Chains A and B, each alone.
Chain A
Amino acid sequence: MVVKLTNAQIAWRAAQDLPDGAYVNLGIGFPEMIATFKPEGREVTYHTENGILDFGEAPPAGEEDWDLINAGKKAVTLNPGASFFHHADSFAMVRGGHLDVAVLGAYEVAQTGDLANWSTGPGSVPAVGGAMDLVHGARQVWVVTDHVTKKGEPKLLEACRLPLTGVGCVTTVYTSLAVIDIVDRRFVVREKLPSMSLEDLQAVTGALLAVGAAVGDLIVPEL
């Protein structure tokens, strides 16, 4: 039986790949969890679009300063050496290639690296925030997501159906079943759950999976 990873376990797995010394932007919601699982001894500096570099954990309840928030409007604290800057400088950091990693959620990812994560189509209020900027400029753009939708439909596709956030921008997808790199417009499986065959994984994926030199086991702790 295949037991898929929880969101916390997906976040843990992505966190293991954070490079030492990296400047990282974690998207609102699910990606924010990655900070919790940063490996000991690795130094990571977090950027938030609204103008802080090197923010830390949430303050204790009752000690929030609402002028000190992240892009998700949650209260944060500052690490020694933090800095403030205005929005144009903040997005110069983003588009100018100064971030090492940006992590976002997804509705759909295409094998070409296209990402759809901002609009479910007509009938809702559209909201894009900083996502269309973040997918350009960071050296690596990671997606953390369940492998399939709530209805069990594949989220990894040959081409996105929903409105795009960016074209050819995603470099790695961390899902509830696998770690998949996007190389030369193909999904290349780096790791998969050991309880699952490649055929099983292919069956819940909407595009052809390629295999690199070897497929590793996706093993995460109980969290």
Chain B
Amino acid sequence: MNKICPTIEDALAGIEDGMSVMIGGFGGAGAPIELIHALVDRYKATGSPGRLTVINNNAGNGAVGIAAMIYAGMVAKMVCSFPRSSDPKAFTDAYLAGKIALELVPQGTLAERIRAGGAGIPAFYTPSSFGTQVAEGKPVAEFDGRSYVQERWLKADVALIKAELADAKGNLTFRKAARNFSPLMAMAAATTIVQASRVVEPGTIDPEHVVTPGIFVDRIVEVPNPAQEEALLREGAK
């Protein structure tokens, strides 16, 4: 079994118009910049893939990463908890102009919906959002005297995530707080595509240290010295 792809383009093959795409990262930490920009480049060259639903905690910052996808016009809908950032212009302008839809999900509910999607649990109850606008229209139930809101699983056609180490079997480790949503997204997507900062031989990652087991991963491409979104923004990237 070898999940290593020779190029980013090979790794990204098969992403089509209208697909749902989970993208790892919290702010700049964990954003798979090279995968995202290869997809933006493909869209600019061929007009596809467009009309995407993008699932991420945020909705882009500055003009790189998810913001670049929005500026390119390839995102129809964002599913996120916090569509604000130090420079949220890309999303804010598109949203206020009615060019992009927003499904706002509390952060813990977003994480658990993705986890549930990967774990085969179609719905669950959470105390979060009970009695708020976010819960409107959702089933509510009482358990042991407290009220809870029913939330459904969230799956996607594709996940794009950034890992630190990967092996050909798909085992992954992450770097510091760049882990965030990525292990959950790897479970919840039909096809999980990983950019790894270093590809190592199977057995190099101690089984005790594997964070995402290879069964959740489909394709890996090595991207040494990857760009870091926050660092790019601070360097004045446009």
Q: Which of B88, B104, B134, B228 contacts A66 (CB 8 A)?
A: B228
Q: How many residues of B contact A (CB 8 A)?
A: 54
B180 touching A51, Cβ below 8 Å: yes
A51 touching B177, Cβ below 8 Å: yes
Q: Is A87 an interface position by the 8 A CB rule?
A: yes
Closest chain-B Cβ to A104's Cβ sits at a distance in Å of 13
Smallest CB gap from B212: residue in A: A86
B96 touching A125, Cβ below 8 Å: yes
B176-204 contacts to A, CB under 8 A, are 176-184
How many A-B pairs have beta carbons closer than 8 Å: the answer is 142
A87 touching B107, Cβ below 8 Å: yes
Smallest CB gap from A71: residue in B: B26
Closest chain-A Cβ to B164's Cβ sits at a distance in Å of 9
Q: Which of A51, A66, A127, A132 contacts B129 (CB 8 A)?
A: A132
Closest chain-A Cβ to B125's Cβ sits at a distance in Å of 11
A residues in contact with B28, CB < 8 Å: 66, 69, 73
Q: In the complex where A50-B29, A91-B111 touch, is A86 in contact with B182 (Cβ < 8 A)?
A: yes
Q: Is A95 an interface position by the 8 A CB rule?
A: yes
Closest chain-B Cβ to A131's Cβ sits at a distance in Å of 8
Closest chain-A Cβ to B234's Cβ sits at a distance in Å of 8
Instruction: Give complex CA distance A127, B131 in Å.
Output: 17
Closest chain-B Cβ to A82's Cβ sits at a distance in Å of 10
Closest chain-A Cβ to B148's Cβ sits at a distance in Å of 9
A67 touching B176, Cβ below 8 Å: yes
Q: Which of A65, A128, A137, A166 contacts B107 (CB 8 A)?
A: A128
Q: Give the contact stretch, choosing among B42-50, B64-72, B79-87, B215-223.
A: B79-87
Q: Is A52 an interface position by the 8 A CB rule?
A: yes
A125 touching B180, Cβ below 8 Å: no
Q: Is B153 an interface position by the 8 A CB rule?
A: no
Q: Is A171 an interface position by the 8 A CB rule?
A: no
Q: Which of A68, A90, A127, A165 contacts B84 (CB 8 A)?
A: A127
Q: Which of A68, A85, A132 contacts B132 (CB 8 A)?
A: A132
Contact with A along B26-37 (1 / 0, CB 8 A): 111110000000
Q: Is B2 an interface position by the 8 A CB rule?
A: no
A66 touching B127, Cβ below 8 Å: no
Instruction: Give complex CA distance A67, B197 in Å.
Output: 13
B81 touching A67, Cβ below 8 Å: no
A83-97 contacts to B, CB under 8 A, are 84-88, 90-91, 94-95
Q: Is A130 an interface position by the 8 A CB rule?
A: yes
A-contacting residues of B (Cβ < 8 Å)? 26-30, 57, 81-86, 88, 91-92, 95-96, 102, 104, 106-112, 114-115, 126-134, 174-184, 211, 228-231, 234
